[in-house]
Amino acid sequence: MKRIYILHGWTYSLEKWKPIIELLNKNGVEVVMLRVPGLTVPHDKVWQLDDYVEWVKGKLEEEELPIVLLGHSNGGRISIAFAAKYPKKIKKLILIDSAGIYHNEFRIKLKRFVFEKLAKIGKGFSDSETLRNMLYKFARVSDYQKADSILRKTMLNLIRTDISNLFPKISAPTTIIWGEKDDTTPLVDGKLMHEQIKGSKLFVICNTKHSPHFTNIEEVGEIILNELEIRN
């Protein structure tokens, strides 16, 4: 049985992953979900991207290497950084709507404004709380809204980190899967990764947003199985 390790994105529940995991299991793929500190498991300090990379390294110390690593969104960011730093530990890299490219667009600027400014508004003021919640929603940072102070600082550290300089350093065979209408990490990001990661493949899932593995389970599952040579 083939094994795939998964780094999930900004989520507090893994419930939505069950269908795609079940599909992979039924087709002979063992899935190991790496529960990211601060999200699906608690942690008590502010982390930088490299802290997550070293955490992954630690989780794999007793595993058979190299591995197949799949990362979604922020999990993709961590996966890219890990694959660039420890290329011999990665047999294949699969990225789904990965984060990691620093943008200067309006919404991203607003998101940073929300992160850095509105979080400082005193919670004792109901009007400020309402304003904060409205702007969180507009900037699409509900994950940040739910986070505790330690995780908020960690999220800030990561969103400020551009890893596009790491793309050319990826040597593992890389499969990139992207939702055509992703408005969180836009398709242009996936195309840039495809251009700069040598030998990578890009699969665009039509009429889909940021999590095609939740909404287009069969299509994404088929791509993963083919790329793992389960169906070939």
Mean pLDDT of 164-189: 96
d(CA 83, CA 134): 38
pLDDT for 125 equals: 40
d(CA 41, CA 13): 10
d(CA 189, CA 208): 15
d(CA 61, CA 47): 20
Token pair 């919640």 is found at: 133
Beta bridge partners of 69: 5, 93
When pLDDT is cut at 50, 70 and 90, the band that residue 111 belongs to is low
Beta bridge partners of 204: 178
Q: Considering the entire predicted model, what is its pTM?
A: 0.84
- pLDDT tens for 5-22 read 999 988 767 899 999 999
Hey, what domains does the chain have and what are their CATH numbers?
Answer: 2-102+163-227 (3.40.50.1820), 106-154 (no CATH)
When pLDDT is cut at 50, 70 and 90, the band that residue 144 belongs to is low
Measured at the CA of 24, the angle between CA 23 and CA 25, to 5 degrees, comes to: 90
How big is the chain, counted in residues?
Answer: 232
